[in-house]
Structure 1
Amino acid sequence: MVEFYIPIEQGSKDFGTPAVKCEDITQISLTIDGWPITVPEGTSVMHASSILNIQIPKLCATDSLEAFGSCRMCVVEIEGMRGKPAACTTPVVEGMVVTTQNEALRKLRRNVMELYISDHPLDCLTCAVNGDCELQDMAGAVGLRDVRYGFEGSNHLNMEKDTSNPYFTFDSSKCIVCSRCVRACGEIQGQHALTVESRGFESRIVAGSESFMDSECVSCGACVQACPTAALTENSVIELGTPSHYRVTTCAYCGVGCSFRAEMRGDELIRMVPHKDGKANQGHSCVKGRFAFGYATHKDRVTDPMIRDSIDEPWRKVSWEEAIGFAADKIKAIRDKHGANALGGITSSRCTNEETYLVQKLVRAGFGTNNVDTCARVCHSPTGYGLKTTLGESAGTQTFESVQKADAIIVIGANPTDGHPVFASQLKRRLRSGAKLIVIDPREIDLVNAAHVRAQYHLQLRPGTNVAVLNALAHVIINEGLEDTSYIEERCDMAAYKKWRDFIADEHHSPEAMESATGVPAMLIREAARMFAKERNGAIYYGLGVTEHSQGSSAVMAIANLAMATGNVGREGVGVNPLRGQNNVQGSCDMGSFPHELPGYRHVSDPEVRALFEGEWGVPIDDEPGLRIPNMFDAAIAGRFKGMYVQGEDIAQSDPNTQHVEAALTSLECLIVQDIFLNETAKFAHVFLPGASFLEKDGTFTNAERRISPVRKVMAPLSGKADWEATMDLANALGYEMHYNHPSEIMDEIAKLTPTFHGVSYEKLDELGSIQWPCNDEAPLGTPTMHIGGFVKGKGSFVVTEYVATEEKVNKRFPLLLTTGRILSQYNVGAQTRRTDNSQWHQEDILEIHPLDAEDRGVTDGSPVRIASRAGEITLPAKISNRMQPGVVYTTFHHPVSGTNVITTENSDWATNCPEYKVTAVQVKVAVEQADWQQRFREFDEQQQAHLSAATQDSNN
């Protein structure tokens, strides 16, 4: 039985009241302490009591975990029932009469609490969580005033603390072995890193053979959040004290968009606690969002504007007014001499919707050109193209929670446990309860064979063959009559379907015909296709391993074809679900950051759309699409593109073929970089505008499920300005007037001009917490599931997706294929996470290589290897790994010193120019020199510090 609850009090660990009452659920009437109540069948006595605001003492129970019934604090008396059952594990029964308070119960609870306290340090006044401890609260609630006995010699009061984790401490002496941490690790995170050892007073919680850092713990914080005592405590609380107030905001890491309580003491951030009302994360978190926020106040933060006439000169610290004036003069000079099309801008997927909207508005209205693009160009631009072409909207179709109703799940080109860990925990929860899983990936990701989770099929394809595998899956479904014909006839364009059906049914697309290209045994594809098509609800989740290919757009459309053919779009538990990489990739696209589209994905060539924006902005808008990021680079090298404004993106590190990017940036007459750190791109800049972290501003992010969530300022901007204010100042200095007093006014303008945002406002966000677009008159509360009853475009469009092999081919000189990805502890180019203790888990990028390939080359574990491609070469330490298949190697790109994108090529998606990061032909050889990796990182950090110190020193002089 599913129960729906909302919390009694924000942040409380108590149980809540029913949010909805379902008519098809049997209702049970009972009496509790003389009060009549009716609740859904399956409700526990404790839940029913909480509805009446009767708070039964408890220690092992919490509303985020399955009932356990071990602490015996919540015992009650039930008329006609022997003994005193636990309220948390006892379901209500019709006519039940419950007593939660009388002298016998009070005495029993005091005795139970006395046993707990007898084996617990009595140091409340000096304890880090004094005043924020459930054990302390419950001792008071049951009226315990004296402890008559202790168990010296038999307890664990003298056990050493485990301080191995950089973010929290485990003090076993304060553990009451309620097992909440163990259950949170298993039930919420699905990691099962913690266990209970021994029995009775000898029982204790253990993690790994020695410590938390030695265990399978992923530092998600679920155990810390669940602990009712000071046994598991954040180090920040131990060092700084308990918080006094909080503001709810949204995480600025991946595209899951977790909601957090930023808990403060004065102006100092103490901890980030996952918000129980967060619709995307439902009170859960990962190591990045939960703990890796220290970068926001790191010593490397640049808080003063800086300028210089040439990149060969040192920086000069100046006032905001001087920096804005300097930048505006440079831009105006270029525009006057070379025209508006010699200028452009790049918006950020790390900034808010409001800030991204202003940057593209500045470029179009202030610069006078459509030369604006975003980092989505190099990650999810094929998603926008592919889904709009097939389904009619450039976004995913479901909520994350929808996965709980999926029966068969395909994960292709994504590694959720590392890239989107909070969603991965929901996914694993569904897999543990019976859903079936197909993983399509060149590498054995964690989901293939994780704790208590095992994929039914791992289609370990060769990099670059996604379309071939997807076509082969569809071929089996069509040729074996497994398609949903009624769905297709009702919902899809039949002419397009028949054309696609004739194409896909051809034997050229059979698993057998594709086996030599994909490397996947034909029988595995056939079995996987049958399983997916036969289950009632099939959901597909994909990531950059789909989009960052020369056929990225084709693969996205092939996924949509597969979903429509099996009738899996337009209800819960199904859908086409892109896992967005950065926190606001979806939002940056929504806001009109592509050169051919205005906000809301409307083409600049449409005169009615242009007229709408021209009327609001007061200037004409070019009807021709502008330059994409790669086109800007080419034009800069050719001498036609002279000035660029880059907000919150490190293109010199993140974009492919680093040498080409650096050549383009060097060619610019004016490069304006706005960021919180002096990044790799800033080495080529003439103006540096200090940015603001997500903690320093108001706004909104839009996550991978189209959820618009509030970002709320918890501290003043260290530089004195939020990013939107700096953009507004630059526009005004250029002579294009912008006047906003608050980001809410920018959102009002967005809502006015963008149909899918018509109903969005800060007032509504404060009321609802978050909203999934479309939100308008037809859907005033938002749209959790897209395409219900019909597609946005009317009829779904099947598209022929011919498999075209990548031009990046192996040969004798470059016999291996390199593919890239992310790791759990680090994020994107590492600018944020490298400046936190997350680096204890991933101090350097490494090259994973299969044992056979390593043996052929004399490579040993940890040895430095030189990786050469057609574009360049780098050196990395090797890790011999059975996760790889022979002929394929893998690395991450989190550390700039690694220079991963030095070797990635300029091959790109045929439709969107999204780079083909996932397929690079390389050779790997043992490096002659024995690199000191730690020294390399130290030298790199010293160079960065010297770079910043030189600017400061020059300014002081």
Structure 2
Amino acid sequence: MVEYYIPIEEGRKDFGTPEIISDDAVMVSLTIDGWPISVPEGTSVMRASSMLNIQIPKLCATDSLDAFGSCRLCVVEIEGMRGKPAACTTPVAEGMVVTTQSEVIQKLRRNVMEMYISDHPLDCLTCAVNGDCELQDMAGAVGLREVRYGFDGENHLNMEKDTSNPYFTFDTSKCIVCSRCVRACEEIQGQHALTVEGRGFDSRIAAGSNNFMDSECVSCGACVQACPTAALTENSVIEQGTPSHYRITTCAYCGVGCSFRAEMQGDQLVRMVPDKEGKANQGHSCVKGRFAFGYATHKDRVLDPMIRESIDQPWRKVSWEDAISFAAERMKGIREKHGSNALGGITSSRCTNEETYLVQKLVRAGFGTNNVDTCARVCHSPTGYGLKTTLGESAGTQTFDSVQKADCVIVIGANPTDGHPVFASQLKRRLREGAKLIVIDPRQIDIVNAPHVRAQYHIQLRPGTNVAVLNALAHVIITEGLEDSDYIADRCDMVAYNKWRTFIAQEEHSPEAMEDATGVPAMLIRDAARMFAKAKNGAIYYGLGVTEHSQGSSSVMAIANLAMATGNVGREGVGVNPLRGQNNVQGSCDMGSFPHELPGYRHVSDPAVRALFGGAWGVTIDDEPGLRIPNMFDAAIAGRFKGMYVQGEDIAQSDPNIQHVEAALSALECLIVQDIFLNETAKFAHVFLPGATFLEKDGTFTNAERRISPVRKIMAPLSGKADWEATVALSNALGYQMNYSHPSEIMDEIAKLTPTFHGVSYEKIDELGSIQWPCNDEAPEGTPTMHIGQFVKGKGSFVVTEYVATEERVNKRFPLLLTTGRILSQYNVGAQTRRTDNSHWHKEDVLEIHPLDAEDRGIKDGGLITVASRAGEISLPAKISNRMQPGVVYTTFHHPVSGVNVVTTENSDWATNCPEYKVTAVQVKVAVEEANWQTRFKEFDEQQQAHLSAATQNND
């Protein structure tokens, strides 16, 4: 592979970007500066001009926002039209004759620009964005050479800067009030955090009542990207200077998979700018992807391999060769003494496809067992099972863009504004255009009452009753004759459908019969069901609030039943769409990380599949599924499981019932942890292999819409090896030879062995930007929408989904139900985001509790409380919140000191063992201890730093 960087100038795109014109578009012919052109009806004069490569000066206009016409710099002359209209807001007309350049126009533009410059600091040589400033560019474009107006009159040159946001500065003195930031906040993010206050000379951009941090700003960076001057500038640019070149890569946070331009000076990363050509995000971002990349060079990074004989001994820093040799000898010793099944591995949903593929290959071919699993076990394994059973493929059905054609959207068990904010922005845009929204969630999430958006129905069910609600919705649709009978007859297995129809039509599944269990008024269910069934296009989006239940798989299948019954699978604007949590959860599953499946979701019991992989790998693959993560823990405690390789997962913090997890890890004879930080799991490790961040490697991620996107190396691995190189070294030391010189060769092997990836290559990804699998001879450029015409499995399968109440019940001792989730600024267990300035917004996890429940217990807002369950007890600050319903409490799990998974139980999904994180019976009381909780957090951080210092001390 050729390493190359693109100069910033070559990456600039504007209104001249090519566009696809639909066959049925009404074309309009006109002349611009003497050049004839035909463009679709509704095109602006500015856009038409740019298609002729005629660039009209502008300041308020941008290809990302609706036309506004406030700057008056883009004025043109149009034959037969009075005055000088703005090109950005004037639509083309048949026979129109436009002049974009004349002496009169030039003079007018210079006068306009002169007015802007007369109230703008003339510090270009020392300005942070010198050379990357549109105001500067446009002054040159209009030929401004002097400013006749003095600066001694009334002006804005001494306005104070707003430095409240940790990532960018608002310098009001450089603001030209073009409103691009305001419109970006409204149109792109849908947040409405910025406004224009005052009129005329007194107009100014305002963020809340005081500053950005006191406003509704979510720090997505849309305003910064839209600003044509230095008024809004990244602090990294102010400190390091303007970047000179960039590479395209993919964000390593959530499952949206945003594309970014990693912009650099030399080999130093200056900023991450969302890529306008990114198909998942289309130039948008959130606070994490846009700004929270500082963890990659944080002082806590462990950059040297370390080993120790036992976990009660200090770490010793060693060379890569010594660490790999030590690990290999330990694992070989276990295999010789206890057999291959005493070993296993866990792949990472944060690593690349190529790296997870190698880990499962190492376990199967190097260790000689199918004991491999992934963190998807504890999040989206029910998605794989449920969608494979009903639709025939273990993945979502379409693109994020598809929501723009939805007429009614169900969001169930997901909080997109916090967990998947870039998708949430697209959803809110569609809702503002008139689409209807149904939210099914025990908590009042933001999108229920977002700015200028309101859910028509919020079904605030009791935790653990998803299946009951979904069955009740389906009951209404079937018994009222609202199903799509033609679709069902054409697309679905009628035997399975009739069995399901008989089941779902029973009165016991009616909204009235389910009301006591769900806590939801029957009429609310009926009204929501009718609205969804009658919509032309109905789409369903769901998250961990669906899968992390004892009936997670049943819930996923119930969602698929609902979609098929209403004919909402197989075209744009509809579908069953899982919102994946981590950046490569989909990819880690695709790559064969489950103990019963090889890459491409093919079962290990299939002789032909085993022969295919065994022949390519030169080994005999076991025909029995291996151990799942919970089974590994149980086997370790029982003494049958002795060695584990964990790549990029902190199972001692993220898995349920932490006491049980720690007991299992303590029982291992060899635990190899590969990560970028010394995490909670590493406390039980014998070998620590330093990991590499997404900025230090080449590879691919696969997002929630099956989009395979490029991850490209921005800097050399700080530890000396990318993760895939460490896995290769370990495999070779174990005696199973792997020979790869670049991750592209790994992808070539994946494509050769996996039908849905047959057409995938780095060359094609670079050419197309990204590819949605299946990509093969039938779909050489990928498959944006699945199940068109027919389902992957042929006929869709309805499945009977009996509602079975969770075993986790409330009682007098534990009268409340605890459910968990995420918050916008933090990510997963917080290992990355806690090491960035994102902690300004979320310094600690808190327990949200309804005012009535708080009053009954004498709990005050901000006070320290204890949360006790059948599994354990933790302490947290309280947050009294009307978002909760009485009887339900909520917290996040981003801080190790919180220990939230100490209280979660081992209850799990009946089909996949996905833990029931979302339903834990608890009691909440005022903490007996008087210690200030802020002091407790500080002490924990100090302990962590002391542990890190001791661990990384050179004891050679």
Q: What TM bracket, shorter-length normalisation?
A: over 0.9
> How far is the alpha carbon of 1:531 from its aligned partner?
0.2
Which residue of structure 2 aligns with residue 89 of structure 1?
89
1:13, distance to aligned residue in structure 2 (A): 5.1
Cα deviation, residue 236, structure 1 = 0.3
Give the partner amino acid of 1:352.
T
2:332 maps to 1:329: no
Asked if 1:33 is matched to 2:33, the reply is yes
How far 1:10 sits from its partner (Å)? Answer: 5.9
Is residue 868 from structure 1 mapped to residue 868 from structure 2 by the alignment? yes
The letter of the residue matching 1:712 is R
* Cα separation, 2, equivalents of 1:950 and 1:505: 64
Which AA in structure 2 matches 1:174?
K
Are the aligned partners of 1:861 and 1:879 in contact in 2 as well (CA < 8 Å)? yes
1:742 aligns with 2:753: no
Deviation, 1:201, is 1.3
Contact 2:250 2:259 in 1 (8 A): yes
Q: Deviations over 1:696-719 (max 9, x none)?
A: 000000000000000000000000
CA distance in 2, matches of 1:291, 1:738: 37
Aligned to 2:596: 596
After TM superposition, list the pairs within 5 Å mapping 1:103-142 onto structure 2.
103-142=103-142
Q: Which residue of 2 aligns with 1:249?
A: 249
Cα distance, 1:128 vs. partner?
A: 0.5
Task: With the length of structure 1 as denominator, give the TM-score of the two structures.
Answer: 0.99
Distance 2:870 2:906 in 1: 10
Task: Provide the C-alpha distance between the structure 2 equivalents of 1:931 and 1:843, rounded to a whole number of angstroms.
Answer: 18
Report the AA paired with residue 755 of structure 2: P
Q: How many residues align?
A: 949
Aligned to 2:205: 205
CA deviations over 1:661-717 (Å, ceiling 9, x no partner): 000000000000000000000000000000000000000000000000000000000
CA contact (8 A) 1:156 1:202 kept: no
- C-alpha deviations, 1:739-792, integer Å up to 9, x for none? 000000000000000000000000000100000000000000000000000000
Q: What secondary structure is seen at the aligned counterpart in 2 of 1:877?
A: strand
Amino acid at match of 1:307: I
In structure 2, the partner of 1:4 is none
How far does the alpha carbon of each residue in 1:575-633 deviate from its partner, in whole angstroms, 9 at most, with x for none? 00000000000000000000000000000000000000011000000000000000000
Conservation of the 8 A alpha-carbon contact between 1:13 and 1:62? no
For residues 184-195 of structure 1, the aligned pairs below 5 Å read 184-195=184-195
Distance in 1 between residues matched to 2:234 and 2:551, nearest whole Å? 46
What is the one-letter code of the residue matched to 2:894?
Answer: H
- 1:909 partner SS: coil
Q: Contact 1:482/1:534 (CA < 8 Å) preserved in 2?
A: yes
Does the Cα contact within 8 Å between 2:292 and 2:838 map onto a contact in 1? yes
| Alpha-carbon distance between aligned partners in 1 of 2:333 and 2:13, rounded to the nearest angstrom | 60
**How far did residue 954 of structure 1 move?**
4.1
Q: Deviations over 1:460-492 (max 9, x none)?
A: 000000000000000000000000000000000
Aligned residues of 1:396 and 1:705 also touching (Cα < 8 A): yes
Cα offset, 1:939, TM superposition: 2.1
2:157 maps to which residue? 157
Inter-partner Cα distance in structure 2 for 1:603 and 1:70: 61
Cα shift at 1:152: 4.3
1:320 is the counterpart of 2:301: no
Q: Deviations over 1:328-382 (max 9, x none)?
A: 0000000000000000000000000000000000000000000000000000000
Deviates more, 1:29-38 or 1:142-151: 142-151
Match of 2:270 in 1: 270
Distance (Å, rounded) in 1 between the aligned partners of 2:470 and 2:10: 45
Instruction: Trace 1:37-52 onto structure 2 (pairs within 5 A).
Output: 37-52=37-52
Q: Which residue of structure 2 aligns with residue 928 of structure 1?
A: 928
> Quick check: 1:168 aligned with 2:186?
no
Partner amino acid, structure 1, of 2:595: P
Q: Judge which range, 16-25 or 895-904, deviates more.
A: 16-25
What SS does structure 1 have at the residue aligned with 2:181? Answer: helix
CA deviation vs aligned residue, 1:309-342 (integer Å, no higher than 9, x gap): 0000000000000000000000000000000000
Equivalent residue of 1:453, what SS? coil
Partners of 2:446 and 2:762 in 1: CA distance = 39
1:153: how far off?
5.0
Gaps of 5+ in 2: 1-7
User: 1:653 offset after TM fit, Å?
Assistant: 0.1
Write the letter of the residue equivalent to 2:643: G
- Deviation of residue 526 (structure 1)? 0.2
Partner residue of 1:946? 946
**Partner residue, 1:99:** 99
Give the AA of the match of 2:771. Answer: I
1:820 deviates by 0.1
Question: Aligned-pair distance for 1:837?
Answer: 0.3
Give the structure 2 partner of residue 504 of structure 1.
Answer: 504
SS class of match (1:213): helix
- The match for 2:751 is 751
What's the CA shift for 1:145? 0.7
**Distance of 1:69 and 1:565 partners within structure 2:** 47
Give the partner amino acid of 1:198: G
Mapped partners of 1:953, 1:565: distance in 2:
62
Give the structure 2 partner of residue 385 of structure 1.
385
CA contact (8 A) 2:16 2:53 kept: no
Q: Are 1:17 and 1:47, in contact at CA under 8 Å, matched by a contact in 2?
A: no
Q: Is 1:11–1:275's contact at 8 Å kept on the other side of the alignment?
A: no
Could you tell me how far 1:948 is from its partner in structure 2?
2.3
CA displacement 1:800-827 (0-9 Å, x = unmatched): 0000000000000000000000000000
SS of residue paired to 2:212: coil
Residue 298 of structure 2 corresponds to 298
Offset of residue 844 of structure 1: 0.1
State the SS of the aligned residue for 2:247.
Answer: strand
Partner in structure 1 of residue 885 of structure 2: 885
Q: Deviations over 1:901-950 (max 9, x none)?
A: 00000000000000000000000000012343332232222222222222
Aligned residue in 1 for 2:4? none
Match of residue 216 from structure 1? 216
Paired residue for 2:699? 699
What's the counterpart of residue 460 of structure 2? 460
Q: Contact conserved, 1:643 with 1:671, CA < 8 A, in 2? A: yes
CA distance in 1, matches of 2:936, 2:683: 19
Matched, 1:258 2:270: no
Q: TM-score, normalised by structure 2?
A: 0.99
Q: Is the partner of 2:437 in helix, strand or coil?
A: strand
SS at match of 1:272: strand
Aligned to 2:281: 281
Q: Which residue of 2 aligns with 1:895?
A: 895
The aligned amino acid for 1:491 is: R
- Give the Cα separation in 2 of the matches to 1:401 and 1:930: 52
Residues 504 and 9 (structure 1), Cα distance of their counterparts in 2 relative to 1, 3 Å cut: farther
Query: Quick one: distance in 1 between partners of 2:861 and 2:733?
Result: 56
User: Hey, what's the Cα distance between the residues in 2 that align with 1:23 and 1:519?
Assistant: 51
Query: 2:307 is matched with which residue?
Result: 307
> Deviation string for 1:32-82 (max 9, x for gaps)?
001111111111000000011100000000000000000000000001111
The equivalent residue for 1:5 is: none
Q: What residue number does 1:719 align with? A: 719
- Name the residue aligned to 1:437: 437
Give the distance between the partners of 1:952 and 1:852, measured in 2 at CA: 48
Kindly provide the amino acid, as one letter, of the partner of residue 687 in structure 1. Answer: V
Structure 2 residue matching 1:955: 3-state secondary structure = coil
Deviates more, 1:712-721 or 1:13-22: 13-22
Name the amino acid aligned to 1:898: S
Aligned equivalent of 2:471: 471
1:470 alignment partner AA: L
Is the CA contact 2:818–2:889 (under 8 Å) kept in the aligned structure 1? Answer: yes
Shift of 1:14: 1.8
Distance (whole Å) between structure 2 residues aligned to residue 82 and residue 928 of structure 1: 78
- Residue in structure 2 matched with residue 686 of structure 1 by the alignment: 686
| Separation of aligned partners in 2, 1:261 and 1:469 | 43
Contact 2:302 2:952 in 1 (8 A): no
Q: Partners in 2 of 1:953 and 1:592 — Cα distance?
A: 38
Could you say what secondary structure the match of 1:362 adopts?
helix
8 Å CA contact 1:512–1:522 kept in 2: the answer is: yes
Structure 2: how far apart are the matches of 1:542 and 1:952?
42
Which position in structure 1 is the counterpart of 2:234? Answer: 234
**2:926 is aligned with 1:916:** no
Q: Secondary structure at 2:161's aligned position in 1? A: coil
- The 5-angstrom pairing of residues 370-769 of structure 1 reads 370-769=370-769
Does structure 2 conserve the Cα–Cα contact (< 8 Å) formed by 1:154 and 1:202? Answer: no
Q: Matched residues in 1 for 2:186 and 2:382: separation?
A: 36
